[in-house]
Chains A and B, each alone.
Chain A
Amino acid sequence: MMLQQVSAPHLRAGQSTEEIMLRVLLALVPGIIAMAHFFGAGVFTNIIGACIAAVLCESLCLRLRDRPLLLYLKDYSAVVTAVLLALALPPYSPWWLITIGTVAAIALAKHVFGGLGSNPFNPAMVGYVVLLISFPVQMTQWTAPSSLAANPGVWDSVLAMIGSEAYDAVTMATPLDLLKQNDGFMVSALWQQYPQFGRFSGVGWEWINLAFLAGGVWLLQQKIFTWHAPVGMLAVLGLMSALFYDGGSSSSGGSPLFHWLSGATMLGAFFIVTDPVSGATSNLGRLIFGALVGLLVYCIRVWGSYPDAVAFAVLLMNFAAPFIDYYTQPKPYGYQARDADK
Protein backbone atom coordinates (compact mmCIF):
# COMPACT_ATOMS: atom_id res chain seq x y z
CA MET A 1 0.00 0.00 0.00
CA MET A 2 1.20 3.50 -0.77
CA LEU A 3 1.24 5.98 2.07
CA GLN A 4 -0.47 9.18 1.19
CA GLN A 5 1.71 12.25 1.25
CA VAL A 6 -0.08 15.47 1.81
CA SER A 7 1.84 18.45 0.48
CA ALA A 8 2.25 21.88 1.95
CA PRO A 9 -0.76 24.10 2.42
CA HIS A 10 -2.58 22.14 5.09
CA LEU A 11 -5.70 24.23 4.86
CA ARG A 12 -9.03 22.50 4.78
CA ALA A 13 -11.35 23.46 1.96
CA GLY A 14 -14.37 22.95 4.19
CA GLN A 15 -16.22 20.99 1.52
CA SER A 16 -16.30 17.24 1.71
CA THR A 17 -17.22 15.06 -1.26
CA GLU A 18 -20.44 14.22 0.56
CA GLU A 19 -21.38 17.88 0.93
CA ILE A 20 -20.60 18.70 -2.70
CA MET A 21 -22.60 15.75 -4.01
CA LEU A 22 -25.58 16.65 -1.82
CA ARG A 23 -25.54 20.20 -3.14
CA VAL A 24 -25.38 18.90 -6.72
CA LEU A 25 -28.43 16.73 -5.98
CA LEU A 26 -30.22 19.73 -4.50
CA ALA A 27 -29.37 21.83 -7.57
CA LEU A 28 -30.89 19.15 -9.79
CA VAL A 29 -34.27 19.44 -8.05
CA PRO A 30 -35.73 22.33 -10.11
CA GLY A 31 -34.81 20.52 -13.33
CA ILE A 32 -36.31 17.27 -12.07
CA ILE A 33 -39.54 19.04 -11.12
CA ALA A 34 -39.72 20.70 -14.54
CA MET A 35 -39.12 17.38 -16.28
CA ALA A 36 -41.74 15.64 -14.16
CA HIS A 37 -44.20 18.43 -14.95
CA PHE A 38 -43.79 17.92 -18.69
CA PHE A 39 -43.12 14.18 -18.91
CA GLY A 40 -45.00 12.82 -15.92
CA ALA A 41 -44.21 10.25 -13.24
CA GLY A 42 -41.88 8.31 -15.51
CA VAL A 43 -39.10 10.71 -14.57
CA PHE A 44 -39.37 9.59 -10.94
CA THR A 45 -39.54 5.88 -11.72
CA ASN A 46 -36.36 6.33 -13.78
CA ILE A 47 -34.59 8.07 -10.91
CA ILE A 48 -35.74 5.59 -8.26
CA GLY A 49 -34.80 2.61 -10.42
CA ALA A 50 -31.39 4.01 -11.26
CA CYS A 51 -30.65 4.90 -7.62
CA ILE A 52 -31.50 1.40 -6.40
CA ALA A 53 -29.42 -0.20 -9.15
CA ALA A 54 -26.53 2.19 -8.50
CA VAL A 55 -26.40 1.61 -4.75
CA LEU A 56 -26.57 -2.17 -5.20
CA CYS A 57 -23.91 -2.14 -7.92
CA GLU A 58 -21.66 0.21 -5.96
CA SER A 59 -21.96 -2.01 -2.87
CA LEU A 60 -21.09 -5.10 -4.88
CA CYS A 61 -18.08 -3.42 -6.49
CA LEU A 62 -16.84 -2.10 -3.13
CA ARG A 63 -17.27 -5.57 -1.66
CA LEU A 64 -15.27 -7.13 -4.49
CA ARG A 65 -12.54 -4.55 -4.08
CA ASP A 66 -12.45 -4.98 -0.28
CA ARG A 67 -13.29 -1.38 0.44
CA PRO A 68 -15.34 -0.14 3.42
CA LEU A 69 -18.95 -0.01 2.25
CA LEU A 70 -20.44 2.80 4.29
CA LEU A 71 -17.56 5.20 3.89
CA TYR A 72 -17.84 5.15 0.11
CA LEU A 73 -21.61 4.87 -0.15
CA LYS A 74 -21.91 7.89 2.11
CA ASP A 75 -20.24 10.20 -0.42
CA TYR A 76 -23.38 10.01 -2.64
CA SER A 77 -21.32 9.96 -5.82
CA ALA A 78 -23.10 6.81 -7.02
CA VAL A 79 -26.48 8.47 -6.41
CA VAL A 80 -25.44 11.57 -8.39
CA THR A 81 -24.29 9.36 -11.27
CA ALA A 82 -27.59 7.46 -11.13
CA VAL A 83 -29.72 10.60 -11.13
CA LEU A 84 -27.80 12.14 -14.03
CA LEU A 85 -28.16 8.92 -16.04
CA ALA A 86 -31.85 8.65 -15.16
CA LEU A 87 -32.47 12.20 -16.37
CA ALA A 88 -30.74 11.41 -19.66
CA LEU A 89 -32.90 8.31 -20.29
CA PRO A 90 -36.33 8.67 -21.87
CA PRO A 91 -39.01 8.71 -19.15
CA TYR A 92 -40.86 5.40 -18.59
CA SER A 93 -37.78 3.31 -19.38
CA PRO A 94 -38.06 -0.38 -18.45
CA TRP A 95 -36.08 -1.65 -15.46
CA TRP A 96 -33.59 -3.69 -17.50
CA LEU A 97 -32.59 -0.67 -19.58
CA ILE A 98 -31.98 1.39 -16.43
CA THR A 99 -30.06 -1.45 -14.80
CA ILE A 100 -27.76 -2.10 -17.75
CA GLY A 101 -26.98 1.60 -18.03
CA THR A 102 -26.30 1.97 -14.34
CA VAL A 103 -24.07 -1.09 -14.18
CA ALA A 104 -22.09 0.18 -17.18
CA ALA A 105 -21.76 3.56 -15.45
CA ILE A 106 -20.78 2.34 -11.98
CA ALA A 107 -18.84 -0.86 -12.66
CA LEU A 108 -17.34 -0.38 -16.11
CA ALA A 109 -16.68 3.35 -16.09
CA LYS A 110 -15.83 3.88 -12.43
CA HIS A 111 -14.74 0.89 -10.35
CA VAL A 112 -12.69 -0.85 -13.01
CA PHE A 113 -10.60 2.32 -13.23
CA GLY A 114 -10.12 2.51 -9.47
CA GLY A 115 -13.28 4.17 -8.18
CA LEU A 116 -14.24 7.79 -7.71
CA GLY A 117 -11.37 10.14 -8.56
CA SER A 118 -9.63 7.83 -11.04
CA ASN A 119 -12.30 7.43 -13.70
CA PRO A 120 -11.14 9.06 -16.94
CA PHE A 121 -14.66 9.09 -18.42
CA ASN A 122 -17.83 10.56 -16.97
CA PRO A 123 -19.68 7.47 -15.63
CA ALA A 124 -23.22 8.67 -16.37
CA MET A 125 -22.31 9.50 -19.96
CA VAL A 126 -20.62 6.11 -20.47
CA GLY A 127 -23.84 4.46 -19.26
CA TYR A 128 -25.91 6.58 -21.61
CA VAL A 129 -23.75 5.97 -24.68
CA VAL A 130 -23.58 2.21 -24.02
CA LEU A 131 -27.39 2.18 -23.96
CA LEU A 132 -27.80 4.46 -26.96
CA ILE A 133 -25.61 2.24 -29.11
CA SER A 134 -26.98 -1.05 -27.81
CA PHE A 135 -30.71 -0.20 -27.65
CA PRO A 136 -31.33 2.63 -30.13
CA VAL A 137 -35.08 1.97 -30.35
CA GLN A 138 -35.81 2.20 -26.62
CA MET A 139 -33.41 5.12 -26.21
CA THR A 140 -35.01 7.38 -28.79
CA GLN A 141 -38.68 7.09 -27.75
CA TRP A 142 -39.45 10.26 -25.87
CA THR A 143 -42.91 10.69 -24.41
CA ALA A 144 -44.86 13.67 -25.68
CA PRO A 145 -44.84 16.66 -23.31
CA SER A 146 -47.93 16.92 -21.11
CA SER A 147 -49.42 19.91 -22.94
CA LEU A 148 -49.61 17.90 -26.18
CA ALA A 149 -50.78 14.52 -24.93
CA ALA A 150 -51.92 13.19 -21.57
CA ASN A 151 -49.06 11.60 -19.64
CA PRO A 152 -49.50 8.13 -18.17
CA GLY A 153 -50.37 8.09 -14.49
CA VAL A 154 -48.29 6.83 -11.59
CA TRP A 155 -49.58 3.26 -11.83
CA ASP A 156 -48.92 3.16 -15.57
CA SER A 157 -45.37 4.37 -15.09
CA VAL A 158 -44.73 1.57 -12.59
CA LEU A 159 -46.13 -0.89 -15.12
CA ALA A 160 -43.88 0.60 -17.78
CA MET A 161 -40.90 0.15 -15.56
CA ILE A 162 -41.51 -3.54 -14.91
CA GLY A 163 -41.95 -3.96 -18.65
CA SER A 164 -45.66 -4.76 -18.77
CA GLU A 165 -47.09 -5.05 -22.25
CA ALA A 166 -50.38 -3.47 -21.25
CA TYR A 167 -48.92 -0.04 -21.17
CA ASP A 168 -48.65 2.30 -24.16
CA ALA A 169 -47.48 5.91 -24.17
CA VAL A 170 -47.76 8.59 -26.80
CA THR A 171 -44.26 9.25 -28.08
CA MET A 172 -43.26 12.13 -30.32
CA ALA A 173 -40.15 13.22 -32.14
CA THR A 174 -38.19 15.74 -30.08
CA PRO A 175 -37.54 19.19 -31.56
CA LEU A 176 -33.90 18.25 -32.19
CA ASP A 177 -35.06 15.19 -34.16
CA LEU A 178 -37.43 17.34 -36.21
CA LEU A 179 -34.80 19.91 -37.08
CA LYS A 180 -32.38 17.16 -38.07
CA GLN A 181 -34.86 15.39 -40.35
CA ASN A 182 -36.03 18.67 -41.84
CA ASP A 183 -35.82 18.66 -45.59
CA GLY A 184 -36.79 21.75 -47.46
CA PHE A 185 -38.79 23.68 -44.87
CA MET A 186 -37.93 27.12 -43.59
CA VAL A 187 -37.43 27.16 -39.82
CA SER A 188 -40.57 29.29 -39.36
CA ALA A 189 -42.62 26.84 -41.46
CA LEU A 190 -41.32 23.97 -39.34
CA TRP A 191 -42.38 25.87 -36.25
CA GLN A 192 -45.95 26.20 -37.57
CA GLN A 193 -46.15 22.64 -38.79
CA TYR A 194 -45.24 20.79 -35.60
CA PRO A 195 -46.81 21.43 -32.20
CA GLN A 196 -43.61 20.20 -30.48
CA PHE A 197 -41.93 23.57 -31.02
CA GLY A 198 -42.48 26.19 -28.36
CA ARG A 199 -41.39 29.79 -28.03
CA PHE A 200 -37.62 29.29 -28.38
CA SER A 201 -37.05 25.57 -28.70
CA GLY A 202 -39.37 22.69 -27.82
CA VAL A 203 -42.50 22.81 -25.69
CA GLY A 204 -41.33 21.82 -22.23
CA TRP A 205 -37.67 21.57 -23.17
CA GLU A 206 -37.13 25.31 -22.84
CA TRP A 207 -38.48 25.28 -19.28
CA ILE A 208 -36.52 22.17 -18.37
CA ASN A 209 -33.33 23.75 -19.63
CA LEU A 210 -34.05 27.00 -17.80
CA ALA A 211 -34.63 25.03 -14.60
CA PHE A 212 -31.30 23.23 -14.97
CA LEU A 213 -29.68 26.60 -15.72
CA ALA A 214 -31.08 27.96 -12.45
CA GLY A 215 -29.70 25.00 -10.52
CA GLY A 216 -26.35 25.37 -12.24
CA VAL A 217 -26.11 29.07 -11.46
CA TRP A 218 -26.81 28.30 -7.81
CA LEU A 219 -23.97 25.74 -7.81
CA LEU A 220 -21.70 28.33 -9.39
CA GLN A 221 -22.63 30.81 -6.67
CA GLN A 222 -21.85 28.10 -4.09
CA LYS A 223 -18.39 27.74 -5.69
CA ILE A 224 -18.85 24.04 -6.40
CA PHE A 225 -17.18 24.60 -9.78
CA THR A 226 -15.69 27.54 -11.70
CA TRP A 227 -17.43 29.30 -14.57
CA HIS A 228 -14.86 28.30 -17.20
CA ALA A 229 -16.21 25.01 -18.56
CA PRO A 230 -19.93 25.88 -18.79
CA VAL A 231 -19.28 29.35 -20.20
CA GLY A 232 -16.82 27.92 -22.74
CA MET A 233 -19.34 25.33 -23.86
CA LEU A 234 -22.35 27.65 -24.09
CA ALA A 235 -20.32 30.41 -25.79
CA VAL A 236 -18.98 28.16 -28.55
CA LEU A 237 -22.35 26.43 -29.00
CA GLY A 238 -23.99 29.86 -29.37
CA LEU A 239 -21.26 31.12 -31.69
CA MET A 240 -21.48 28.09 -33.97
CA SER A 241 -25.27 28.24 -34.18
CA ALA A 242 -25.13 31.99 -34.87
CA LEU A 243 -22.63 31.39 -37.67
CA PHE A 244 -24.69 28.64 -39.30
CA TYR A 245 -28.15 30.02 -38.48
CA ASP A 246 -28.47 31.14 -42.06
CA GLY A 247 -31.44 33.41 -41.35
CA GLY A 248 -33.76 30.46 -40.68
CA SER A 249 -33.53 29.01 -44.18
CA SER A 250 -34.31 25.36 -44.96
CA SER A 251 -30.69 24.34 -44.36
CA SER A 252 -30.44 26.28 -41.09
CA GLY A 253 -28.92 24.56 -38.08
CA GLY A 254 -31.23 26.35 -35.66
CA SER A 255 -30.82 29.57 -33.71
CA PRO A 256 -28.47 29.98 -30.70
CA LEU A 257 -31.46 30.13 -28.35
CA PHE A 258 -32.82 26.93 -29.85
CA HIS A 259 -29.53 25.12 -29.18
CA TRP A 260 -29.09 26.56 -25.71
CA LEU A 261 -32.57 25.50 -24.64
CA SER A 262 -32.82 22.14 -26.40
CA GLY A 263 -32.07 18.62 -25.34
CA ALA A 264 -29.41 18.20 -22.69
CA THR A 265 -27.57 21.48 -23.23
CA MET A 266 -28.00 23.01 -19.77
CA LEU A 267 -27.84 19.68 -17.93
CA GLY A 268 -24.60 19.00 -19.78
CA ALA A 269 -23.12 22.47 -19.34
CA PHE A 270 -23.61 22.69 -15.58
CA PHE A 271 -23.72 19.10 -14.33
CA ILE A 272 -21.70 16.98 -16.77
CA VAL A 273 -18.99 19.20 -18.25
CA THR A 274 -18.16 20.47 -14.75
CA ASP A 275 -17.29 16.97 -13.48
CA PRO A 276 -14.09 17.61 -11.50
CA VAL A 277 -12.72 14.10 -12.13
CA SER A 278 -13.03 13.46 -15.85
CA GLY A 279 -12.61 17.05 -17.05
CA ALA A 280 -9.53 19.24 -17.36
CA THR A 281 -8.07 20.56 -14.11
CA SER A 282 -6.66 24.04 -14.67
CA ASN A 283 -8.89 27.03 -15.38
CA LEU A 284 -7.51 27.54 -18.87
CA GLY A 285 -7.83 23.81 -19.47
CA ARG A 286 -11.48 23.91 -18.38
CA LEU A 287 -12.18 26.77 -20.76
CA ILE A 288 -10.64 24.83 -23.67
CA PHE A 289 -12.40 21.64 -22.57
CA GLY A 290 -15.79 23.35 -22.41
CA ALA A 291 -15.30 25.18 -25.70
CA LEU A 292 -14.44 21.99 -27.55
CA VAL A 293 -17.43 20.20 -26.00
CA GLY A 294 -19.62 23.01 -27.35
CA LEU A 295 -18.05 22.70 -30.79
CA LEU A 296 -18.52 18.92 -30.89
CA VAL A 297 -22.11 19.18 -29.64
CA TYR A 298 -22.98 21.52 -32.48
CA CYS A 299 -21.16 19.50 -35.16
CA ILE A 300 -22.70 16.16 -34.15
CA ARG A 301 -26.18 17.64 -33.64
CA VAL A 302 -26.26 19.35 -37.01
CA TRP A 303 -24.06 17.22 -39.28
CA GLY A 304 -23.77 13.88 -37.47
CA SER A 305 -26.30 11.08 -37.26
CA TYR A 306 -27.36 11.55 -33.63
CA PRO A 307 -29.92 14.26 -32.77
CA ASP A 308 -28.39 15.11 -29.41
CA ALA A 309 -24.68 14.97 -28.83
CA VAL A 310 -23.83 16.04 -25.31
CA ALA A 311 -22.87 12.52 -24.20
CA PHE A 312 -20.63 11.85 -27.19
CA ALA A 313 -19.03 15.28 -27.02
CA VAL A 314 -18.30 14.88 -23.31
CA LEU A 315 -16.79 11.40 -23.76
CA LEU A 316 -14.65 12.56 -26.67
CA MET A 317 -13.36 15.46 -24.63
CA ASN A 318 -12.82 13.24 -21.55
CA PHE A 319 -10.51 11.33 -23.86
CA ALA A 320 -8.64 14.55 -24.68
CA ALA A 321 -8.67 16.02 -21.15
CA PRO A 322 -5.37 14.50 -19.90
CA PHE A 323 -3.65 15.87 -22.99
CA ILE A 324 -5.17 19.32 -22.43
CA ASP A 325 -3.88 19.15 -18.85
CA TYR A 326 -0.46 18.21 -20.15
CA TYR A 327 -0.15 21.57 -21.91
CA THR A 328 -2.11 23.84 -19.57
CA GLN A 329 -0.36 23.14 -16.28
CA PRO A 330 -0.20 26.40 -14.36
CA LYS A 331 3.30 27.49 -13.40
CA PRO A 332 4.15 26.77 -9.75
CA TYR A 333 4.50 29.87 -7.64
CA GLY A 334 8.01 31.34 -7.93
CA TYR A 335 8.88 29.45 -11.10
CA GLN A 336 8.90 32.58 -13.27
CA ALA A 337 12.44 33.75 -12.45
CA ARG A 338 14.12 30.45 -13.25
CA ASP A 339 12.14 30.16 -16.43
CA ALA A 340 13.50 33.51 -17.64
CA ASP A 341 17.10 32.33 -17.12
CA LYS A 342 16.82 29.63 -19.73
Chain B
Amino acid sequence: MIAEFAALLLATVLVNNFVLVQFLGLCPFMGVSNKVETAMGMSMATAFVLTLASGCSYLAYHFVLAPLNLEYLRTITFILVIAAVVQFTELLIRKTSPLLHRVLGVFLPLITTNCAVLGVALLNINKAHSFVESLWYGFGAALGFALVLVLFSAMRERLAAADVPAAFEGPAIGLIAAGLMSLAFMGFAGLV
Protein backbone atom coordinates (compact mmCIF):
# COMPACT_ATOMS: atom_id res chain seq x y z
CA MET B 1 0.00 0.00 0.00
CA ILE B 2 2.63 2.52 1.10
CA ALA B 3 4.96 1.33 -1.64
CA GLU B 4 2.20 1.82 -4.21
CA PHE B 5 1.57 5.37 -3.10
CA ALA B 6 5.27 6.16 -2.99
CA ALA B 7 5.61 4.83 -6.54
CA LEU B 8 2.65 6.94 -7.69
CA LEU B 9 4.23 10.02 -6.13
CA LEU B 10 7.64 9.33 -7.70
CA ALA B 11 5.97 8.73 -11.05
CA THR B 12 4.03 11.99 -11.01
CA VAL B 13 6.83 14.15 -9.59
CA LEU B 14 9.77 12.92 -11.67
CA VAL B 15 9.05 10.29 -14.31
CA ASN B 16 5.87 11.84 -15.72
CA ASN B 17 6.47 15.36 -14.55
CA PHE B 18 3.51 17.44 -15.71
CA VAL B 19 5.54 20.34 -17.02
CA LEU B 20 8.70 18.79 -18.46
CA VAL B 21 7.43 15.41 -19.63
CA GLN B 22 3.71 15.93 -20.33
CA PHE B 23 4.04 19.62 -21.27
CA LEU B 24 1.03 20.78 -19.26
CA GLY B 25 0.91 24.04 -17.32
CA LEU B 26 3.49 25.74 -19.50
CA CYS B 27 1.88 29.20 -19.21
CA PRO B 28 2.55 29.70 -15.49
CA PHE B 29 5.85 27.86 -15.96
CA MET B 30 7.02 30.58 -18.36
CA GLY B 31 4.94 33.38 -16.88
CA VAL B 32 5.77 33.35 -13.18
CA SER B 33 9.32 32.03 -13.24
CA ASN B 34 11.13 35.34 -13.31
CA LYS B 35 11.76 35.47 -9.56
CA VAL B 36 12.25 32.72 -7.00
CA GLU B 37 9.89 34.26 -4.41
CA THR B 38 6.96 34.58 -6.78
CA ALA B 39 7.59 31.08 -8.09
CA MET B 40 7.37 29.75 -4.54
CA GLY B 41 4.11 31.61 -3.91
CA MET B 42 2.66 30.25 -7.13
CA SER B 43 3.78 26.73 -6.27
CA MET B 44 2.10 26.80 -2.87
CA ALA B 45 -1.14 28.17 -4.25
CA THR B 46 -1.13 25.63 -7.07
CA ALA B 47 -0.42 22.76 -4.71
CA PHE B 48 -3.42 23.68 -2.57
CA VAL B 49 -5.79 24.19 -5.48
CA LEU B 50 -4.63 21.15 -7.45
CA THR B 51 -5.13 18.75 -4.58
CA LEU B 52 -8.52 20.19 -3.71
CA ALA B 53 -9.67 20.41 -7.33
CA SER B 54 -8.73 16.83 -8.13
CA GLY B 55 -10.75 15.66 -5.12
CA CYS B 56 -13.75 17.86 -6.00
CA SER B 57 -13.78 16.85 -9.65
CA TYR B 58 -13.65 13.20 -8.61
CA LEU B 59 -16.74 13.73 -6.46
CA ALA B 60 -18.49 15.72 -9.19
CA TYR B 61 -17.81 12.99 -11.75
CA HIS B 62 -18.74 9.97 -9.66
CA PHE B 63 -21.71 11.39 -7.76
CA VAL B 64 -23.25 13.82 -10.26
CA LEU B 65 -22.17 13.09 -13.83
CA ALA B 66 -21.97 9.30 -13.74
CA PRO B 67 -25.41 8.67 -12.18
CA LEU B 68 -27.02 11.05 -14.70
CA ASN B 69 -25.12 9.54 -17.66
CA LEU B 70 -23.62 12.93 -18.43
CA GLU B 71 -19.97 11.80 -18.65
CA TYR B 72 -19.49 13.69 -21.91
CA LEU B 73 -19.91 16.95 -20.00
CA ARG B 74 -16.89 16.33 -17.83
CA THR B 75 -14.51 18.85 -19.42
CA ILE B 76 -16.87 21.79 -18.97
CA THR B 77 -17.91 20.58 -15.52
CA PHE B 78 -14.34 20.31 -14.37
CA ILE B 79 -13.57 23.81 -15.60
CA LEU B 80 -16.48 25.05 -13.53
CA VAL B 81 -15.39 23.03 -10.50
CA ILE B 82 -11.83 24.34 -10.76
CA ALA B 83 -13.01 27.95 -11.07
CA ALA B 84 -15.23 27.47 -8.03
CA VAL B 85 -12.40 25.90 -6.02
CA VAL B 86 -10.11 28.78 -6.92
CA GLN B 87 -12.70 31.35 -5.84
CA PHE B 88 -13.34 29.43 -2.63
CA THR B 89 -9.62 29.24 -1.90
CA GLU B 90 -9.26 32.94 -2.41
CA LEU B 91 -12.13 33.75 -0.07
CA LEU B 92 -10.89 31.31 2.54
CA ILE B 93 -7.33 32.60 2.48
CA ARG B 94 -8.46 36.23 2.55
CA LYS B 95 -10.52 35.64 5.69
CA THR B 96 -8.18 33.30 7.54
CA SER B 97 -4.71 34.55 6.66
CA PRO B 98 -4.36 38.04 5.19
CA LEU B 99 -0.60 37.60 5.07
CA LEU B 100 -0.78 34.51 2.89
CA HIS B 101 -3.38 36.26 0.77
CA ARG B 102 -1.02 39.11 0.17
CA VAL B 103 1.74 36.72 -0.86
CA LEU B 104 -0.42 34.59 -3.13
CA GLY B 105 -2.96 37.27 -4.07
CA VAL B 106 -2.19 37.76 -7.75
CA PHE B 107 -1.53 34.12 -8.50
CA LEU B 108 -4.74 32.63 -7.23
CA PRO B 109 -7.01 33.71 -10.12
CA LEU B 110 -4.27 32.67 -12.57
CA ILE B 111 -4.53 29.07 -11.47
CA THR B 112 -7.97 28.79 -13.10
CA THR B 113 -6.22 28.90 -16.45
CA ASN B 114 -3.49 26.41 -15.52
CA CYS B 115 -4.08 23.48 -17.85
CA ALA B 116 -2.22 21.13 -15.51
CA VAL B 117 -5.13 21.44 -13.06
CA LEU B 118 -7.67 20.43 -15.69
CA GLY B 119 -5.25 17.81 -17.00
CA VAL B 120 -4.96 16.15 -13.59
CA ALA B 121 -8.75 16.10 -13.14
CA LEU B 122 -9.26 14.46 -16.55
CA LEU B 123 -6.35 12.03 -16.16
CA ASN B 124 -7.75 10.89 -12.81
CA ILE B 125 -10.90 9.77 -14.62
CA ASN B 126 -8.98 8.17 -17.50
CA LYS B 127 -6.74 6.22 -15.15
CA ALA B 128 -9.73 5.17 -12.97
CA HIS B 129 -8.12 6.39 -9.78
CA SER B 130 -9.93 6.01 -6.46
CA PHE B 131 -10.75 9.09 -4.37
CA VAL B 132 -7.59 8.89 -2.26
CA GLU B 133 -5.48 8.12 -5.32
CA SER B 134 -6.98 11.16 -7.08
CA LEU B 135 -6.03 13.43 -4.19
CA TRP B 136 -2.55 11.91 -4.08
CA TYR B 137 -2.12 12.20 -7.86
CA GLY B 138 -3.14 15.86 -7.69
CA PHE B 139 -0.71 16.48 -4.84
CA GLY B 140 2.10 14.70 -6.70
CA ALA B 141 1.42 16.71 -9.84
CA ALA B 142 1.55 19.92 -7.79
CA LEU B 143 4.79 18.84 -6.15
CA GLY B 144 6.36 18.13 -9.53
CA PHE B 145 5.10 21.46 -10.85
CA ALA B 146 6.50 23.26 -7.80
CA LEU B 147 9.87 21.52 -8.09
CA VAL B 148 10.53 22.46 -11.69
CA LEU B 149 8.99 25.93 -11.37
CA VAL B 150 11.19 26.91 -8.43
CA LEU B 151 14.36 25.40 -9.92
CA PHE B 152 13.58 27.05 -13.26
CA SER B 153 13.01 30.44 -11.64
CA ALA B 154 16.44 30.30 -9.98
CA MET B 155 17.94 29.48 -13.38
CA ARG B 156 16.06 32.30 -15.11
CA GLU B 157 17.37 34.81 -12.59
CA ARG B 158 20.82 33.77 -13.72
CA LEU B 159 19.88 33.82 -17.41
CA ALA B 160 18.60 37.37 -17.02
CA ALA B 161 22.17 38.47 -16.33
CA ALA B 162 23.72 36.41 -19.14
CA ASP B 163 24.99 37.88 -22.40
CA VAL B 164 22.31 36.17 -24.50
CA PRO B 165 22.23 37.06 -28.24
CA ALA B 166 19.44 39.57 -28.96
CA ALA B 167 17.43 37.06 -31.00
CA PHE B 168 17.20 34.70 -28.04
CA GLU B 169 16.47 37.10 -25.21
CA GLY B 170 13.56 36.66 -22.85
CA PRO B 171 11.06 33.83 -23.31
CA ALA B 172 13.04 32.34 -26.22
CA ILE B 173 16.05 31.42 -24.10
CA GLY B 174 13.66 30.33 -21.34
CA LEU B 175 12.03 27.87 -23.71
CA ILE B 176 15.40 26.56 -24.91
CA ALA B 177 16.50 26.03 -21.30
CA ALA B 178 13.18 24.33 -20.57
CA GLY B 179 13.70 22.08 -23.58
CA LEU B 180 17.13 21.04 -22.35
CA MET B 181 15.66 20.33 -18.92
CA SER B 182 12.99 18.22 -20.53
CA LEU B 183 15.81 16.32 -22.23
CA ALA B 184 17.45 15.77 -18.85
CA PHE B 185 14.17 14.55 -17.36
CA MET B 186 14.12 11.74 -19.94
CA GLY B 187 16.82 10.20 -17.76
CA PHE B 188 14.14 9.34 -15.22
CA ALA B 189 12.34 7.11 -17.75
CA GLY B 190 11.79 3.63 -16.42
CA LEU B 191 12.46 4.50 -12.77
CA VAL B 192 8.99 3.38 -11.67
Interface residues of B in 152-179 (CB under 8 A from A): 152, 154-155, 157-159, 162-165, 168, 173, 176-177
Q: Is the CB of A305 within 8 A of B164?
A: no
Q: Is the CB of B184 within 8 A of A315?
A: yes
Interface residues of A in 114-139 (CB under 8 A from B): 114-115, 118, 120-121, 126, 129-130, 133
Chain A min CB distance to B187 (Å):
3
Chain A residues near B173: list those with CB within 8 A.
Answer: 112-113
Residues of A in contact with B, size category: 35 or more
Chain A min CB distance to B189 (Å):
5
Complex Cα gap A65–B157 (Å): 23
Task: Tell me the dominant secondary structure on chain B's binding face.
Answer: helix
B91 at the interface (CB under 8 A from A): no
Number of chain B residues close to chain A: CB under 8 A = 28
Given contacts A312-B188, A315-B183, 17 further A-B contacts (CB under 8 A): A108-B180, A109-B180, A112-B164, A112-B165, A112-B168, A113-B176, A114-B164, A114-B165, A118-B163, A129-B186, A296-B187, A304-B188, A306-B187, A309-B187, A312-B187, A322-B158, A326-B36
Chain A residues near B177: list those with CB within 8 A.
Answer: 113, 120-121
Query: Taking beta carbons and an 8 Å cutoff, which residues of B are in contact with A?
Result: 36, 150-152, 154-155, 157-159, 162-165, 168, 173, 176-177, 180-181, 183-191
Interface residues of A in 163-185 (CB under 8 A from B): none
Complex Cα gap A253–B27 (Å): 41
Chain B min CB distance to A2 (Å):
9
A299 at the interface (CB under 8 A from B): yes
Interface string of A312-340 (1 = CB under 8 A from B): 11011011101101100000000000000
Chain A residues near B150: list those with CB within 8 A.
Answer: 323
A259 at the interface (CB under 8 A from B): no
Q: Is the CB of A319 within 8 A of B155?
A: yes
A286 at the interface (CB under 8 A from B): no
Interface string of A93-118 (1 = CB under 8 A from B): 00000000000000011011111001
